[in-house]
Structure 1
Amino acid sequence: MAIRRSATKRHGLPSIVQLRLTPAPAQAEALAAAVLLCNQAATVVSRLAFQHHTFAVLELHRLAYYEVRAQVSGLGAQAAVRAIARVAGAYANRRASKKRAHIFRPQGAVPYDARLMSFNRDARTVSLWTPTGRVTVPYVGWPEDLKAIEALPMGEAALIYRRGVWLLHVALTLPKPAVREPVHGFIGVDQGVANLAVTSDRVVLPGPALTGPIGGNSHVRTLRERRHRQRRRLQKKGTAAARRVLRRLAGREHRMMTDLNHQISKFVVREAERTGRGVALEDLQGIRGRVRAHRFQRRTLHGWAFAQQIAFTRYKAARTGIAFVLVDPAYTSQACPDCGYVSRANRPARGRFVCTRCGLAGHADHIAARNIATRGAAGWAAINQPHATGLPSTRRDRESKPPASSGGS
């Protein structure tokens, strides 16, 4: 199985590298036992957290640490700590929508930190914790990935077993460039279901602006509907051959949407860098809990990868020093960007906008993107408002805080 090249780069160095481990059979058994044990521990902690309605890391640690070590034999101290943190992260954004305790898959990815792993960069081996002791496993990767491992500080890693192959995804810390002032304003990006992204420059994404086999948003919807019908037909059949096909197709749609979001975010950030502007998107956190959709639309809504697109755009903008802001999404598609009039009557149809006061007409998604760009510029100006001290507001707030006490009198 070939290693997938890292999709995110800057100056030839990726921020998350994928390494392929080549363990011996005994080492592979030890790694499998570690994955199974850590996921079992995370499920135990998750049930305790849900039962006691305790989701913060510190409180959950006090509640579950000794209990999970007693229930899961062979679990190390640091492995228990990582399982608790993993559960707290799993409940962080889905607490309100959870109707039952979160169950972790037995073969799910397991996080490793500096206390559970150590790298020998000269020998290109990594030492990983397992219930039966540490194993030292060789690794291979693309040249740029190996160069990044040797040159950059490393953070956490994820141990993954996928179709007979052991992988290690390692997070790296990249040097952060200074954010440049958006002298020419902001590019607003409106995200939606019918159109994944529409910019304030009237560019619809995906579309002709992006290279690749995806022709447009209707093509994306057609592919996803076809994949859904195929999965439903195979699941209904339930034979061994159907299950083999399902395993082969697993993750194909997810990979397609991830690739599209990478292309969209890369195009937006490059356009902002070329024109000296910043990037503004809507803050859509919690929208699934706020929006009440018809039961026939829930699958489309909950399969909408807007959070991933925001995350991709944010880190790509940070890498290139582009200003990035999230704005309030309220009434962006009902407000007129020329006269400022807000009314439901401005939206006579789903994709059409006609201002009932000044007569401005256009596509609703493009109008929303223009409003997002305007709000982005206003938000950026408020954040970086000048002060009599001559310091930006963020630096002024940081330097105005009193120094931490050293513990003496």
Structure 2
Amino acid sequence: MAIRRSATKRHGLPATVQLRLTPAPTQVDALAAAVLLCNQAATVVSRLAWQHRVFTVLELHRLAYCEVRAQVAGLGAQAAVRAIARVAGAYANRRASKKRAHIFRPHGAVPYDARLLQVALTLPKPAVREPDHGFVGVDQGVANLAVTCDGAVLPGPALSGPIDGNGHVRTLRERRHRQRRRLQAKETAAARRVLRRLAGREHRMMTDLNHQISTFVVREAERTGRGVVLEDLQGIRGRVRVHRLQRRTLHTWAFAQQIAFTRYKADRAGIAFVLVDPAYTSQTCPDCGHVSRANRPARGRFICTRCGLAGHADHIAARNIATRGAAGWAAINQPHATGLPSPRRDRESKPPGFNRQ
């Protein structure tokens, strides 16, 4: 028997761990009896829900909790709660097509939660390896979701899946926004049902993309023996002024989520992770160090007015981010001349604009 347990990692992000149970023969019989009992309870709740046409979790709990515990002998309180949630999920968005009450198979899979089956899992925390080959710098933006210092544009050909580019992402988000506005303007029961069905779809898409991007960046850093450095974008919505047509895009972009995903995956792999000051990263020449607004003649173009270096502005910014990360890491890891503990262990001794996580 195998179970999937969602264990909470650092920063509140879940990680799914698949475990295999090896119960004794007597435990097998007890587990089989528990499965039969839970499915019997779910069928009882389902018939009550269908009879009274009550399908939301809260209303169904008020209707069926006492009744199912009275009808199914030996059913625990939390098992009854999970049976009610299973029934509500079974009818969600599909009750219009059903002609009779949903019947649960006697030996069907039963989802357990932490109150029914607790699994304690302790993973060793790997030591952070020194980034001997530098850092993978990542520039985050709206025109391009993420660009690495190696020139990889994410999402793009480097990632698998139906999302083939950041333009595709923006198109999908705009389409969903227009669809929500049309449905909200109708103010009908059918429109509200569709809105409930669409709720969270865009969030799930962006979460999946951020997982793919963070996984790619961390794996690339691990493969090349480098660390990961991103911009510290905390408070960016209050600092940056954009055109009114871009405000909704900026204020709904998942910058913090991408940083959090990258941070915990780097921590799990023992890879150095750094946040740096994003100021002037796209206006600074990585070769000669010249900083000027004139270096950005257009949104996506960079041409240094001193040395003539040209390239995509996001790629140039990612190179500068990688350089800042390496400089900041070296500053806090240099040996102390007095023989006192290294500043690496002193979290207060950080260079300006540098934040080691």
**TM-score bracket, shorter-length normalisation:** 0.5 to 0.7
1:395 aligned to 2:345? Answer: yes
Q: Whole-Å Cα distance in 1 between the matches of residues 132 and 310 of structure 2?
A: 28
1:349 aligned to 2:298? Answer: yes
1:194 aligned to 2:143? Answer: yes
Shift of 1:139: 10
**After superposition, where does 1:37-52 map in structure 2 within 5 Å?**
none
Shift of 1:137: 3.4
Q: Compared with structure 1, are the counterparts of its residues 195 and 347 closer, same or farther at alpha carbon in structure 2 (3 Å cutoff)?
A: same
* Aligned pair partner of 1:274 in 220, 223, 226: 223
Shift of 1:297: 1.5
Find the residue that maps to 1:198 and give its secondary structure: strand
**After superposition, where does 1:372-387 map in structure 2 within 5 Å?**
372-387=321-336
Q: Whole-Å Cα distance in 1 between the matches of residues 80 and 86 of structure 2?
A: 16
**After superposition, where does 1:187-226 map in structure 2 within 5 Å?**
187-226=136-175
Q: Compared with structure 1, are the counterparts of its residues 163 and 310 closer, same or farther at alpha carbon in structure 2 (3 Å cutoff)?
A: farther
Find the residue that maps to 1:296 and give its secondary structure: helix
Name the TM-score, length of structure 1 as normaliser. Answer: 0.59
Q: Whole-Å Cα distance in 1 between the matches of residues 325 and 5 of structure 2?
A: 34
* Aligned pair partner of 1:259 in 199, 208, 215: 208
1:183 aligned to 2:132? Answer: yes
1:366-405 Cα distance to aligned partner (Å, 9 max, x none)? 000000000000111112121243743233679xxxxxxx
Residue in 1 that maps onto 2:26: none
**After superposition, where does 1:223-262 map in structure 2 within 5 Å?**
223-262=172-211
1:364 aligned to 2:313? Answer: yes
1:166-208 Cα distance to aligned partner (Å, 9 max, x none)? 9958997642110000000001000000100000000000000
Shift of 1:338: 0.3
Shift of 1:337: 0.3
Shift of 1:254: 0.3
Q: Whole-Å Cα distance in 2 between the matches of residues 372 and 295 of structure 1?
A: 28
Q: Whole-Å Cα distance in 2 between the matches of residues 305 and 4 of structure 1?
A: 28
Structure of larger gyration radius: 2
**Counterpart contact for 2:7–2:15, Cα < 8 Å:** no
Shift of 1:340: 0.3
**Counterpart contact for 2:7–2:17, Cα < 8 Å:** no
Which amino acid is 2:146 matched to? Answer: A
Shift of 1:138: 8.2
Q: Tell me, which stretches of 5 or more residues in structure 2 are unaligned?
A: 19-37, 49-56, 63-75, 91-110, 349-357
Q: Whole-Å Cα distance in 2 between the matches of residues 240 and 307 of structure 1?
A: 35
Residue in 2 that maps onto 1:320: 269
Q: Tell me, which stretches of 5 or more residues in structure 1 are unaligned?
A: 37-126, 128-134, 141-159, 399-409
**Counterpart contact for 1:200–1:370, Cα < 8 Å:** yes
**Counterpart contact for 2:156–2:164, Cα < 8 Å:** yes
**Counterpart contact for 1:334–1:347, Cα < 8 Å:** yes
Q: Whole-Å Cα distance in 1 between the matches of residues 7 and 206 of structure 2?
A: 13
**Counterpart contact for 2:4–2:17, Cα < 8 Å:** no
**Counterpart contact for 1:15–1:174, Cα < 8 Å:** no
Q: Compared with structure 1, are the counterparts of its residues 217 and 8 closer, same or farther at alpha carbon in structure 2 (3 Å cutoff)?
A: farther
Shift of 1:289: 1.4
More helix by share: 2
**Counterpart contact for 2:146–2:154, Cα < 8 Å:** yes
Tell me the C-alpha RMSD between the 2 structures: 3.6
Q: Compared with structure 1, are the counterparts of its residues 395 and 168 closer, same or farther at alpha carbon in structure 2 (3 Å cutoff)?
A: same
1:119-164 Cα distance to aligned partner (Å, 9 max, x none)? xxxxxxxx9xxxxxxx443899xxxxxxxxxxxxxxxxxxx99964
State which drifts further: 252-261 or 226-235.
Answer: 226-235
Q: Compared with structure 1, are the counterparts of its residues 397 and 296 closer, same or farther at alpha carbon in structure 2 (3 Å cutoff)?
A: closer
* Aligned pair partner of 2:79 in 106, 127, 137: 137
Q: Compared with structure 1, are the counterparts of its residues 371 and 167 closer, same or farther at alpha carbon in structure 2 (3 Å cutoff)?
A: farther
Residue in 1 that maps onto 2:255: 306
Q: Whole-Å Cα distance in 1 between the matches of residues 230 and 218 of structure 2?
A: 12
Name the TM-score, length of structure 2 as normaliser. Answer: 0.67
Q: Whole-Å Cα distance in 2 between the matches of residues 347 and 17 of structure 1?
A: 47
1:6-39 Cα distance to aligned partner (Å, 9 max, x none)? 6999xxxx64679xx998769xxxx959x99xxx
Q: Compared with structure 1, are the counterparts of its residues 215 and 163 closer, same or farther at alpha carbon in structure 2 (3 Å cutoff)?
A: farther
Q: Whole-Å Cα distance in 1 between the matches of residues 305 and 334 of structure 2?
A: 35
More strand by share: 1
Q: Whole-Å Cα distance in 2 between the matches of residues 7 and 360 of structure 1?
A: 48
**Counterpart contact for 1:16–1:172, Cα < 8 Å:** no
**Counterpart contact for 2:230–2:274, Cα < 8 Å:** yes
